[in-house]
Amino acid sequence: MSDADEHRTAEDGATERQRDIRFPGRGSWGADHRGRSRYGRGRPLAAVAVLVAGLLAFHSAVPNTVGRLGSLLETFLPWLALAVPVLLIAALLRRSVTALIALLLPAAAWLGLFGALLLPASGGPAGVVAVQHNVSDVNTDPAGTARALLSVRPDLVALEEVVPSALPAYEKALAADLPHHAVVGTVGLWSRHPLADVRPVDLKPRGIPTDWNRGMRATVLTPGAAVAVHVAHLPSVRLGAGSGFSSAWRDESARLLGAALAAEEQSRVILLGDLNSTVDDRGLDPVLAHVGVAGPGFAFSWPASFPVARIDQILSRAAEVTHVWSLPATGSDHLPIAARITL
């Protein structure tokens, strides 16, 4: 080798060493500067991935004894999916095969819980189109809100927080399409088909004033079958630094609603309401023991400005909610939701 070739080789070697120093491990999944292999590094990331998977798969094991942390977790359970892309980016930057493999656990757990909601709605005719909406007691445009709900040509519309001053506007706007209606307290049901056996349902927890009435049921006489429709507005929950997730009244009211559904004599039941609870929250278990959850669609309904949870529900028994979706915002702090129901 000539002197020139030796000099050129030395320069190339020096350049390569400088590149390695400047960009340590660039493009390499080998050992890092501390000698850890692609399987040995990233173990903290893998541990976090396993923790997220555990929270998804075993959320019911998180206790409610302190601040009702279990219910709080379950209210926002779908959002744990955000941890997966964050951990994925971190694992790729760390070049950790162990962390990447561990990420399969939360991904599989999330798909097991919520994957069905991503599927397209099943085909077939809808026996009933139902709309559920907490219209807000400070809604300044009740007539416009009512007209917006008619855009999906519903057969049933359930409203909560219907204050006496706004009731005439809702009645007038909905009358042509939904001529049959009943109102009990601050909840109401409008129907395309005749109503029978309308009565209040007592959902009032202990300690709430006696004029609190936010539950009702009615038999809807559809052409194919009679259906018991329950409309409910359960108490709100509160989140505070000192008290945690406060849901005692909501949970007590859910137990009363569950008892009413258990006593319902009609085989077909549709439940429409602001339950202030997601179907993953264990606080709704007394209700879900008697009705099934909705089909595909997340349909987040609250808050209207940036929906993060579906606390408005359309559930059924001896009928199938084949698809549920959110409607555009109205003058309320909730979004309306609509559903197709096969009887």
Q: Return the pLDDT at 19.
A: 46
In 172-258 the beta strands, taken as DSSP E runs, fall at 180-184, 187-191, 195-200, 215-221, 226-233, 238-240, 244-246
pLDDT of residue 24: 42
The pLDDT of residue 1: 58
CATH number, domain 121-342: 3.60.10.10
Angle CA(49)–CA(46)–CA(59) in degrees, nearest 5?
A: 25
**Per-residue pLDDT at 33:** 58
Domain boundaries, the chain: 31-117, 121-342
Question: What single-letter DSSP state applies at residue 154?
Answer: -
**Spatial separation of the C-alpha atoms in residues 210 and 192, rounded to whole Å:** 32
pLDDT along the chain (343 residues), means of 10: 56 50 51 65 94 96 88 94 96 93 97 92 76 98 98 98 98 98 98 98 92 96 95 88 74 97 97 97 97 93 97 97 96 97 92
The per-residue pLDDT for 129 is 96
Residue 50: burial class (beta carbons within 10 Å; 0-12, 13-18, 19+): middle
- Tell me the whole-structure pTM to 2 decimals: 0.86
Q: How many residues does the chain have?
A: 343
